[in-house]
A and B are shown apart, each in its own frame.
Chain A
Amino acid sequence: MFVARSIAADHRDLIHDVSFDFHGRRMATCSSDQSVKVWDKSENGDWHCTASWKTHSGSVWRVTWAHPEFGQVLASCSFDRTAAVWEEIVGESNDKLRGQSHWVKRTTLVDSRTSVTDVKFAPKHMGLMLATCSADGVVRIYEAPDVMNLSQWSLQHEISCKLSCSCISWNPSSSRAHSPMIAVGSDDNSPNILAKVQIYEYNENTRKYAKAEALMTVTDPVHDIAFAPNLGRSFHILAVATKDVRIFTLKPLRKELTSSGGLTKFEIHIVAQFDNHNSQVWRVSWNITGTVLASSGDDGCVRLWKANYMDNWKCTGILKGNGSPVNGSSQQGIFNASLGSANTSFQNSLNGSFAGRKQS
């Protein structure tokens, strides 16, 4: 089902995040060695590291790409209490020949007093905007009003979540029926039973973000959270990585009739809960149509979840290491060509060789 290619990452320490750009031709990795590396995919499918530079003075937790409409822009966040925005500078032709590019820091966001645990760009229809969350429980939303000047960012909102935050996710829906929305997950370990997932929605009237919902059933630390791409549905789907994998639907009920532009009330359902990892689940990630969810856990496996056409979620694949060492020539195709489990049985059930087949 999958074919794998291995690339030596060259980071000197743990890698904490890896992120594809919008078109899947570039990749960024960040590590405890305080650097970020950018990789480009060449015509023949090989990945080359085209930039590697020190970005922070502490472990870099997350790295994320902005939409290509804004150019080649990255954001990173770190234990050193800052988040930074980087832009690629088109280099001299010499550099281009050597396959290197340069990234310059456009701005440093220093408002946080504690480690910044996640940074995510907002959906492009909201302009050039990003959100960060910190261990001090504050979510900050910044905007660059002039997309051509990436050094000017202003802090637009500060949301106090009361719990140490570990992850955020923007709702990607650009439908006019949906106000901007952001989900925040907390990895707070104290034995209180506060909801560890909160949903904040932008209120047109007050021009502020206000808490719309809290998922009361999630009381364990949350490590990752992700809204699914919206396929024109009226409701939202949210995946949560906690002690297991959970998928929620949030159906907007009619807005408060007292004020138009008031907060939406949601009907929340949990549509799936899987503990197959049997351990903490660390990441959840949707494919681009929001039809397959992947989760990874401390059991060292990645599991794929898919809903069939009757909206039942099931595990459709498991990826795990097979323990064999990677070949030295890493890029020359360690092709795990498995065309499907039934091949051999098809061969058995079919009548022998092709030789001498009758032509119809």
Chain B
Amino acid sequence: MEELDVEPALTLVPGVAPGRGRLHFQWGPGEMLVCEAAFPGAGHGEKGPGCPYIHVLRKDQDIHLHTLRKLFNESHGIFVGLQRSDEELSGKSKKAQLVGVSKNYRSVIRACMEDMHQMAISTRDPALHNQYSTQVSILSAMELIWNLCEILFVEVAPAGHLLLHLLDWVRLHVCDVDNMVREVLSSENPSKHELFWNVVDIFVLQGRMEDARHLLSKEATANPTSKGMCKILDDLMKKMPVLGLGNTQTLTEMELKWQHWHEECQRYLQDGTFASNPHMESICKILLGDENAILEKKELMTTWYHFLVTHLLYSHPAVKPVELRFYAQSSLDQFLGGENSPEPLDTILMAAFEFEIHQVIKECSIALSNWWFVAHLTDLLDHCKLLQSHNLYFGSNMREFLLLEYASGLFSHHSLWQLGVDYFDHCSEYGRVYLELHIERIPLTTEQKALKVLRICEQRQMHEQVRSICKIMAMKALRNNRLGSALSWSIRAKDAAFATLISDRFLKDYCERGSFSDLDLIDNLGPSMLLSDRLTFLGKYREFHRLYGEKRFSEAAKLLLMLMTAHIAPCSFWMTLLTDALPLLEQKEVIFSAEQTYELMRCLEDLTAGKLDNQKLQDDDIETTKVEMLRLAFARNLARAIVKEGTLEGS
């Protein structure tokens, strides 16, 4: 990240000759980068096979691995829970809660490791097997680091308890022990097994006194000559003072007892009690915290941090957190012995022992290929108020920076993007704008997906995005001639102009085909009808047809007339409306009153007067015939109406 001058990661793209000239490219929303090779100019004389290639690159393949999805999903739940529960607790209960959250994260990592391991052993493809195994290693490393951070930063274990936690940590992360243990214990004569003393050593190195004593007793029974020594050693092990978690003794009391015990071990060693049995003598030296004796068991410990904890257990059990860094550095140096240099994992753990939180995060960001780990860990540490109290001012910015990176990565996945939404929600400074930018790029492949995206935008009052998405869907529907769909999308977008356009199309279709499509939609427009005048007209016009179909003629008539007189209908449509009036005029009973008929006639005159003379000449005969027909019909109806209205109702 910042000051570290790391060599930028180099990716080799197959099929592109290096240095053969420029590459063109463009970013795509799915974090894709299209790289395509242009040959150098014709001057080179070769046009190659004449076929340039386009390379589509995708970042973060991690996202697409099936089992990691579970990791992302479950950690999302923990993350959201943590953000929401923050305000309630304080003090001790708060710490317990944070430790609980940390443990949850770790159990999710472990579950993922299990699944990945299962997939590794069940696959036949060696390449896949390697891939899965690599993932398992990475997850294991992540859990190791997280666990240490939990002990040092979240739990903030004080002196005494600190060592106990570290012991647990080491015991948890050393694998090969159990196999060996099982092998030895299940053999007929354990003490004669060649690995017997290895197992005893391991138990001692890990401070598992009970187990060590159990094995020693087997040796005692099998080998009467060493019985005496076994008894003494057993005794020493039994008496070793340990600060139990439930113990009431203070640290000082324990330290005093420990000092006495240490001296006792010293005496036995100097007396040569164990001289005849090199195994037991070395164990005694280990109990005394002799670095060389412990280092001899390097192969059994396998890691420098195991060495560190063992050494601390037997020399400084009451180690304070601030002292850790010195011991850690020395342990690392001694263990590596100048042969090897520290690996990334070692650097990260060392930074943790030195309580350099920012360094830990920085190193992890570099070593790991996706942002999941650092984003969630940093967020947790931020909740522990560890980043703010740090000297550097960008504490909370770093949390947000990492969360934004992680969530952005999620958006390139066709379903995990939904998790990303919640992460953006909890980034106070840039979360919203990042969400706006990302969410409008989600491909709207199906209606359901579009609706899902819309719901998210509407919940957050992202009005512009709502409008834009609806417009895109409306446009797509319109291009495919799905007028009903287009209309409902433009209503949702509250896009009056577009709604007008689509209504016009509907009406045009009606004129051409004589029937409506998507009747359901138009019939149930409700108040959204008012979005645009044209839309209102469409709705009302359909209502007219419905009334006519239900034979409610006088209502239909009234509506028809109103459409013209209230100028809801566009002038271009009046002719059609008047023509629609014809069947009503031909009915046996008089439907249009005289008053209404006058209105109709006036409408017709307005319409024809509007046309210029030369236009009339160009009109078909059909037009003029229509007008004639209408005038005739109106006149006839007028006559009948006057008569009807003038007649007294028969009593």
Contact = CB atoms under 8 A, between A and B. Distances in A.
Given A4-B13, A6-B55, A339 B134 contact: yes
A346 B172 contact: no
Contacts of B302: 351-352
Given A304-B8, A346-B344, A354 B13 contact: no
A313 to B, nearest CB: 11
Contacts of B144: 350
B174 A351 contact: yes
A275 interface: no
Contacts of B113: 354
Nearest to B142: A346
B245 interface: no
B26 A345 contact: no
A15 interface: yes
Contacts of A235: none
A12 interface: yes
Contacts of A24: 28-30, 32, 441, 443
A283 B501 CA distance: 41
A319 to B, nearest CB: 5
A339 B163 CA distance: 35
Contact of B58 (A2, A300, A339, A354): A2
Contacts of B33: 2, 294, 302, 319
Given A9-B52, A323-B17, A310 B394 contact: yes
A8 interface: yes
Interface string A201-235: 00000000000000000000000000001011000
Contact of A322 (B2, B14, B30): B14
A342 interface: yes
B415 to A, nearest CB: 13
B16 A354 contact: no
Contacts of A71: 475, 479
B131 A337 contact: yes
B345 A2 contact: no
A69 interface: yes
B421 interface: no
B398 A309 contact: yes
A99 B434 CA distance: 35
A232 B433 contact: yes
B70 interface: no
Nearest to A319: B11
A248 interface: no
A94 interface: no
A300 B18 contact: yes
Contact of B51 (A10, A27, A298): A10
A159 to B, nearest CB: 26
Interface in A298-331: 298-304, 308-310, 312, 314-327, 330
A357 interface: yes
Given A320-B10, A356-B179, A1 B26 contact: no
Contacts of B29: 20, 22-24, 288
B175 interface: yes
A14 B27 CA distance: 20
Contacts of B19: 299-300, 320-321
B471 interface: yes
Contact of A318 (B9, B27, B36): B9
Given A8-B53, A345-B343, A352-B176, A300 B16 contact: yes
A19 interface: yes
A39 to B, nearest CB: 8
B617 interface: no
A192 B508 CA distance: 61
Contacts of A117: none
A285 B433 contact: no
Interface of A: 1-12, 14-20, 22-25, 27, 29, 39, 47, 68-72, 88, 90, 124, 148, 229, 231-232, 282-283, 285-289, 291-292, 294, 296-304, 308-310, 312, 314-327, 330, 334-343, 345-358, 360
Please name the 7 residue pairs, one residue from A and one from B, whose CB atoms are nearest each other, closest first: A321-B16, A340-B369, A326-B15, A322-B12, A24-B28, A20-B28, A349-B345
18 contacts: A4-B11, A4-B55, A11-B52, A16-B38, A20-B26, A23-B29, A23-B443, A24-B28, A282-B24, A283-B22, A288-B437, A318-B11, A319-B57, A322-B14, A322-B16, A350-B140, A354-B120, A356-B177
Interface of B: 1-2, 8-39, 50-62, 107, 110, 113, 117, 120, 131, 133-138, 140-141, 144, 171-179, 302-303, 343-346, 366-370, 394, 397-398, 400-401, 408, 430, 433-434, 437-438, 441-444, 468, 471-472, 475-476, 479-481, 501
Given A336-B14, A346-B367, A358-B172, 7 more contacts: A5-B57, A7-B56, A9-B52, A15-B54, A322-B14, A350-B345, A351-B303
